[in-house]
Amino acid sequence: MQSSIYPCIWFDNKAEEAVKLYCEAFSDASMETCSPLLCRFRIKGKPFMALNGGPVYRPNPSISFFVICSSEEEINRAWEKLIEGGHSLMQLDSYPWSDKYGWVQDRYGVSWQLSLGKEEDEKPDVFPSLMFVGEQNGNAERAINFYTSLFPNSSIGLISRYEKGEHDTEGHIKYSQYFLNGYRMCAMESSFNHDFSFDAGVSFVITCETQEEIDFYWLNLTEGGTEEDCGWCRDAFGVSWQVVPSVLNTLMKDPATAARVTGAFMKMKKFDIAELERAAAQA
């Protein structure tokens, strides 16, 4: 299975405005396409989607984006751009794990962990970080094992745990890194009280080549979770996913077929490629 994974961020009709901000904040960031519904962009070569979904959901710190910056100039610029209209979750400063690090929630609710990379061992990068809190606190390792068993070419790179006397629950995950089909992610846990949890404010898109892939991911991700409309679902940990056929982009490009295809998938939960193609082929 050659499925790709990338994040989708939900905005209240300010997707283009937000993407323009991110392109100003980060080196090697660019907008690729933009429509009234969604914008596609890249940061440090990694794809993102910004969705104009309205006021139903808003990103929160349960899923943030860890950015390894290439220079002090970049991390300072990113902080200054993102803090405007937003607020600090951890002040930009020196910490044991980084000479310069800060955690900021921008004006749109999107959270960014900015870290100055060490030239000798850290290349500039951006990747999502999942924080397991509330009823999901303590489930991070189970989630990591589940995700890495589900996707091909996956591995666990690092798991660091809280030790006795540290400021959180002994044995819980302080920081981890893992790879899903080569896509880098990290996870952590917090036992403190938080007013947020996983929801569709940030979801992950799985682009599938075949119906077999769609069926496989849908079956596994919805076990203990929930099926939602238009290819969306939530897994047993509350994380939102979109299981989408790669052919959908092609079918939606032609204005003559887009309306029929949209009408077809609006009636679906799990995507049915054959049904989408039949809708596109109708005279």
Integer CA distances (angstroms), 229 to 15, 175, 220, 232, in order: 21, 33, 17, 6
Residue 144 phi/psi, 5-degree rounding, is -60, -45
Q: State which of 124, 156, 189 marks the end of a domain.
A: 189
- Per the domain annotation, does 195 fall within a domain? no
- Per the domain annotation, does 243 fall within a domain? yes
Is the pLDDT confidence value at 2 over 60? no
Using one digit for the tens of pLDDT, what is the confidence trace for 215-231? 999 999 999 999 999 99
Q: Are residues 244 and 171 in the same domain?
A: no
Q: Are residues 30 and 132 in the same domain?
A: yes
Sign of the Cα pseudo-torsion (263, 241, 136, 93, in order)? negative
Q: Which amino acid is at 234?
A: R
Q: What is the mean pLDDT of residues 275-280?
A: 93
Q: What is the mean pLDDT of residues 33-37?
A: 94
- Per the domain annotation, does 204 fall within a domain? no
pLDDT at 122: 72
Q: What is the CATH number of the domain that holds 89?
A: 3.10.180.10
- Per the domain annotation, does 143 fall within a domain? yes
Nearest to 108 by CA among 2, 216, 233, 21: 21
Q: Are residues 169 and 272 in the same domain?
A: no
- Per the domain annotation, does 239 fall within a domain? yes
Q: Are residues 135 and 170 in the same domain?
A: yes
- Per the domain annotation, does 79 fall within a domain? yes
pLDDT at 7: 98
The 3-state DSSP class for residue 201 equals coil
pLDDT at 170: 97
Q: State which of 189, 217, 247 marks the end of a domain.
A: 189
Is the pLDDT confidence value at 154 over 60? yes
The whole domain housing 217 covers 209-281
Q: Are residues 218 and 125 in the same domain?
A: no
Q: What is the mean pLDDT of residues 165-193?
A: 97
Enter the pTM of the model: 0.96
